[in-house]
Chain A
Amino acid sequence: MLPAVAYRIGMDLVDAQGVADAVARFGDRYLHRIYTERELAECNCGQLLAPMRLAARFAAKEATLKVLAMTDGVPLRSIEVQSGFGRPPKLVLAGEAADRAERENLSDFLVSLTHDGGMSAAVVLATVGRG
């Protein structure tokens, strides 16, 4: 009999206009508090698309925090979404987020992003007890 596999799942939804407003109001202070340099480079795609892409990445970070069952004291920059460029995006954890995943025995993080109608969403799935 195959061993049972357990998963944890998280989801989040973000209003892209809120992200656009935050960028306009706080600029680099907002951007560099939340996103890694790689994420900012990958979202540097013009005024229309950039807020939606940034919002999707924020949603992915929040969804990951839900999977980690930890919202306190984890810098959002310790959770990075890497674009797939034609392949699915990847989720890379570092620092506090990675430590928490190890303590919780979570691995094989998967992420899916979407945006429509000014809203961006992300779903994150992790495997429990393997890896």
Chain B
Amino acid sequence: MAAKPDAEIVDQVRRVLADHARLPMPVEGLAQDDDLYQAGMTSHASVTVMLALEDTFEVEFPDGMLTRGTFASIGAMAGAVTQLRSPST
């Protein structure tokens, strides 16, 4: 079972989105499971969000995780980052 992302990771993801997602509304108003594409995030913006997440969390998204679902919500991104930062079993 995937570990639940902690609040600090979620907050950092929100800051990345505020800086890079180019959304037409404040990120603070979005719930963790709100669809970011429905909220106005474009496919190009999702690329810059991905790169910013890699910088912020010092991770690298493998090709297999470059899916629409990975970047669809704050919760999904926080979960992906948590997974990438978990030590391999």
A-side contacts of B44, CB under 8 Å: 14-15, 18-19, 22, 55, 58, 62
Query: How far, in angstroms, from A22 to B42 measured CA to CA in the complex?
Result: 14
Nearest B residue to A75, CB-CB: B63
**Residue A7 is within 8 A (CB to CB) of chain B in the complex:** no
Tell me, rounded to whole Å, the shortest Cβ–Cβ distance linking B15 to chain A: 15
Min C-beta distance of B56 to chain A, whole Å: 12
Which residues of the other chain, A, contact B43 by a CB distance below 8 angstroms? Answer: 12, 62
B residues 50-78 touching A (CB-CB < 8 Å): 51-52, 54-55, 63-64, 66-69
From the candidates B22, B51, B64, name the one contacting A26 in the complex (CB within 8 A).
Answer: B51
**A18-40 vs B: 1/0 string, CB under 8 Å?**
11011001100110011000000
Interface extent on B, as a size class?
10 to 19
CB <8 Å contact, B64 and A73: yes
B31 beta carbon closer than 8 Å to chain A: no
A62 to B66, CA, bound (A): 14
Cα of A51 to Cα of B48 in the assembled complex, Å: 15
- Complex Cα distance, B62 from A73, in Å, reads 9
B30 interfacial by beta-carbon distance below 8 Å: no
Q: Shortest 8 CB-CB distances between A and B: which pairs?
A: A72-B67, A26-B51, A71-B68, A22-B48, A62-B43, A18-B44, A14-B44, A75-B63
30 residue pairs A–B, Cβ–Cβ below 8 Å: A14-B42, A14-B44, A15-B44, A18-B22, A18-B42, A18-B45, A18-B48, A19-B44, A21-B48, A22-B44, A22-B47, A22-B48, A25-B48, A25-B51, A25-B52, A26-B51, A26-B52, A26-B55, A29-B54, A30-B47, A30-B48, A30-B51, A33-B47, A34-B47, A55-B44, A72-B67, A73-B63, A73-B66, A73-B67, A75-B66
